[in-house]
Chains A and B, each alone.
Chain A
Amino acid sequence: MVKMAEDKRVEVSSLLDQSILSEYEKIEIVLRLYRLLKGATLYERNNILIERLTLDCLQIITPILQREGQLFLKIVRDGIFFNNVRIPIKADRYAIFKNFIQEISQKGIGSIEILNEISAEHLREFIFLLAQADAHKEDNYLYLNQQLAQRGINEVKTDKIEFFKDEYLSMVAKNHKEFAKEVYFKSLNLVREVAEGIKNQKVINIRKAKHLMQSAVNSIMQDESALLALASIKNYDEYTFNHSVNVAIYAIALGQRIGIPKKDLGHLGIAGLFHDIGKLKIPLEILNKKEKLSAEDWGIIRAHPVIGTEIIIQMKEWGELSTRLISATFEHHLKYDLSGYPKLSRKKNLTLFGKIVALADFYDALVRPRVYRKFPYVSEKILGFMLERAGKDFSPALVKVFINMIGIYPLGTLVLLNTNEMGIVWQTQEDPDLIDRPKVCLLYYSGGEYRKGKEVDLREIDPETGHFKRWIVKTLDPNEYNINVAEFLI
């Protein structure tokens, strides 16, 4: 039966090669299906919101079905094909697309085919079946098709996902978070190794860095939240190593959102890891000085982009990768308007990698815990500052993508809810319209310390009042509560 469906699909899809879909349709179909799918995980079938989301979907699906005769949505690696036309993923809608792909492919579904006009009832039924399907079950498509047939829903068919190496490994590594953790902590170790290697004038194993960053790219491409959550660790072991790994993660995640290809993302990760390599040559008495630094000290510290560039020139043959490492290392303090350092003898265009690493570097340095500071640097302040400095210090477009990626309340932010509950931001929402409604892990105090409670979704609506159940009142400084957020995230 599946084979027959496949044959038919080939036949129909070849006819549809000429399919003309507007940009609007290509994007809206995914957005609306995704919203309905997410709604199905939160609400009952008869909820008014579900009804509205279903109608939203039909509004876009029906005209296409009438015009094209069918709707065939297929996931190929990290892309979505819609009636054989690849849907362009844009930075502003990136997260939704990514999560849609992830949501569907985790359930082992690689394609959804709607063969005829479909009623609201059937569409809703199908989406609920899909939402309820278990993750990591390769034969879900058989179950779904069977269930659809039993319900007399003949206009929808699904097929299994075609696995590629990376996805396959991720499926095998059932717990993606574990995989991300491995990548994160091994990256920390790698940066340490590199640092020691440089100090002892040993040859640096770039191949190892490449492998690690490939894993980081795989992890982020599958689900960026796992590594982004780990990047909220700021003071594990040596700050510089910790910081370098975080910068690599932010850079890859940001690069992914603007469509940098996989191979280049790997390079971006390595550039992030090595961007501060020049600090290895700064005298420790300055680097570790606890008192305020003098102008002279700063002068020495501010030589690190040049020193770093020279280290890279020495350690690596000139080529594509070294060019990128050099760009990121040299440019990460230059600032968007070139008013930073090193001072240039003439104007130059900043590279994209330089701009990305600069942004990641600045953010990570600013959000590190200020153990001895009274003022809590809540993320709104930092992101607000970055927005304000966009065009001077940072690329305005990249700042926007960054905020969309991090969210107004980044992963790991300690928040107070209107219910007087305290919690940690657990998962950001991919829909920019819901950027202030993340999932939060509630904390409760017991036995002299805060403990993890249940996870709540701030999109949840109280059926009685029709309003959101919870919302964030303000962010809190974890130091005031003696909470190390990272502990809850690992």
Chain B
Amino acid sequence: MKKDFSLAEPELKGEKEAIAQAKDLFNTFIKALKAYRLYPPENPTVQGLKDQVYQKFQSFLNQHHSLTLKIGESTISFQDVTIYENPDLKNSLAFLFYKDGLRELRFREGLEEWEIQEFLEILKQSETLNQLEDDLATLMWEKNFVHISYVAVDVFLEEMPSIIPESPAQFREKLNLEPIPPSTAADFGEDDPEIDFYESLPKMAPSLPTLNNRSVYFLTPEELEGLRKEVEMEINPASVFNVVDILLEILALEKDPQPFQNTVQVLEKILDALISFGEFKKANDLLTRLNIILNTYELLDWQAKTIQQILENAGAESRIEKIGKIIDKGEGVNLDEVSSYLLLLRPNAINPLIKVLGELNNSKARRMLCEVLVELGKNKVELIAPHIEDHRWFLVRNIAYILGRIGKEISLPYIQKALSHMEPRVRREAVQALGSIGGPKVIPLLEKALGDDDPRIRSMAALNMARVGRKISLPILLKIMQSKEFAKRDAAEIKAFFDAVGSIGDNEAIGTLKKLLEQKSWLGFGKKEDIRLGAAFALAMIGTPEAKEILEAGKNSRDESIRLACTQALSRKPSKGIRDLAIW
């Protein structure tokens, strides 16, 4: 009969102390378990309580060498004294152990921290165990603790009827002496099933080599090492993904809808797991192989549809959100692998990807996602463009970039909206996008941007106009450059406009440039220099004999600043194109 702790009067002081210690230890353990169930393991409260449990175990075991707890239906006792009781079986820790057959727990001296951690982990897991597959006794057995042992009753083995033959006669009764059907023979798997290998084996199989040559069954150091590695690979948790190969083979072989669907369901689960574990290379491989099956195998319609559905589902919002969280953390994620995976997704992934793009903090991940969207959106501009109206300027800028990289005129009305955006960074991106899209339709838009409030945007517009519009842009640019107001602009902008004109390389600009080179400035010395230098360089970029003639003449000018500008311009290397220009 068990004693109640409060009523117990142990004869020896030591015993009493041990019981008090055990009770204290167990109370701390329960607190730690509660915390462990509520909070993530790294939570400071959990950590603190875990440390306390460990210390209390150490202290107890150092003194008493072991702690044996007896498990009852609703009680846990130490030395016949109840140290835990909870008649509410639903919430009873004792019952949690008891229902799974555990009857005794023993902690031994030398108990290590990882054992406490794993033990808590097991108890946490016990809440969500699939009762058809697992129980606490199994989890404890699998952990193979060194300093925690248990005694359990095995209800499963006990409930099985006893069918063990008690005597040779009984054994003989159940012997199957019928000729064994060929279907159960060892299958040599040879192509010709007509050959009876049982008959032919004696002729073909040599006996084991002579005992003098035992080396044939001694393992070489390489073989031992090979086996060690194989075991290591097999017990690596990531080995669960090896099953993909088999499942894909099943898809290729199976023509029956039910098993095919079951296989597909497992593949989808695997895909989820691969994403959760950040195994994007494997996820990429999975989708690639599904694509191969889809495109090269002779599939029935429903099979093709099912595979298409997996590929479609791969870009489902929930999965993309998960990927977003992973890449935003950035730790240990290979963005190239993520990118390769995302590039295999279908257009349905575009909207979720844009949603994630708007939420990412990691700039590298954002950049990668933009490039992915450029590829995915090539024929789906209509899915990307509307996001130009998003309320977040940074996302709008990214969308403008993506649309620009896609380079389709269909985006122009959306880019036009971005051109009027209050955030200059968005307008700048829009101007770049217009430059990337090109074509006559972008000229009026770029012309509008030439009047932007932001000098960098105007500069960029000028350069892009030159690139896109070439000759058409020339009068527009020259007109601005001849205005009185132009000379007041800052040096970088002035240079950009002259570079733009120069890059067009047309003699039509020579007259205006000459005028600007030689014109007396009504502004300060610095501004005059900027205009002259810009004009001289533009002439050098044009590079025609007529342009060179003006520069050569300028070298002998009586005006020192003209001389200097022309000399410098003539000595510069010819520009390769607009990308070399200053503003870039």
Contacts and interface: CB of A to CB of B under 8 A. Distances in A.
Interface in B187-245: 187, 189, 192-194, 196, 198, 201-202, 204-209, 211, 214, 216-219, 223-224, 226-228, 230-231, 233-235, 237, 239-240, 242-243, 245
Q: Which of A163, A266, A352 is the most central at the interface, judged by chain B CB atoms within 10 Å of its CB?
A: A352
B33 to A, nearest CB: 22
Given A188-B163, A388-B206, A400-B218, A292 B182 contact: yes
B217 A353 contact: no
B246 A309 contact: yes
A427 to B, nearest CB: 19
Interface in B129-149: 130-135, 137-138, 141-144, 146, 149
Contact of B250 (A163, A309, A321): A309
A318 B175 contact: no
Given A327-B246, A383-B208, A261 B180 contact: no
B163 A344 contact: no
Contacts of A478: none
Given A182-B164, A211-B157, A400 B183 contact: no
A176 B10 CA distance: 40
B196 A292 contact: yes
Interface stretch (B261-269, B299-307, B326-334, B517-525): B261-269
Given A237-B174, A317-B130, A384-B207, A266 B223 contact: no
Contacts of B175: 235-236, 484, 486
B171 A486 contact: yes
B298 to A, nearest CB: 12
Interface stretch (B19-27, B251-259, B381-389): B251-259
A211 B154 contact: yes
Interface stretch (A98-106, A141-149, A371-379): A371-379
A116 interface: no
B564 to A, nearest CB: 71
B189 A339 contact: yes
Nearest to A398: B227
Interface string A100-118: 0000000000000000000
Interface residues of B, number: 93
B7 interface: no
B156 A207 contact: yes
Given A365-B185, A387-B209, A214 B219 contact: no
A476 interface: no
A342 B217 contact: no
Contacts of A383: 208
Interface stretch (A30-38, A56-64, A282-290): A282-290
A14 interface: no
Contact of A235 (B176, B193, B209): B176
A207 B133 contact: yes
Contacts of B233: 352
B263 A381 contact: no
B177 interface: yes
Contacts of B211: 408, 435-436
Given A210-B134, A352-B231, A490-B171, A342 B253 contact: yes
Interface of B: 108, 130-135, 137-138, 141-144, 146, 149-152, 154, 156-157, 160-161, 163-165, 168, 171-172, 174-187, 189, 192-194, 196, 198, 201-202, 204-209, 211, 214, 216-219, 223-224, 226-228, 230-231, 233-235, 237, 239-240, 242-243, 245-250, 252-254, 259, 262-263, 266, 269-270
14 contacts: A91-B219, A212-B156, A240-B184, A258-B231, A264-B235, A293-B182, A298-B187, A310-B259, A310-B262, A333-B189, A335-B189, A371-B177, A384-B208, A432-B218
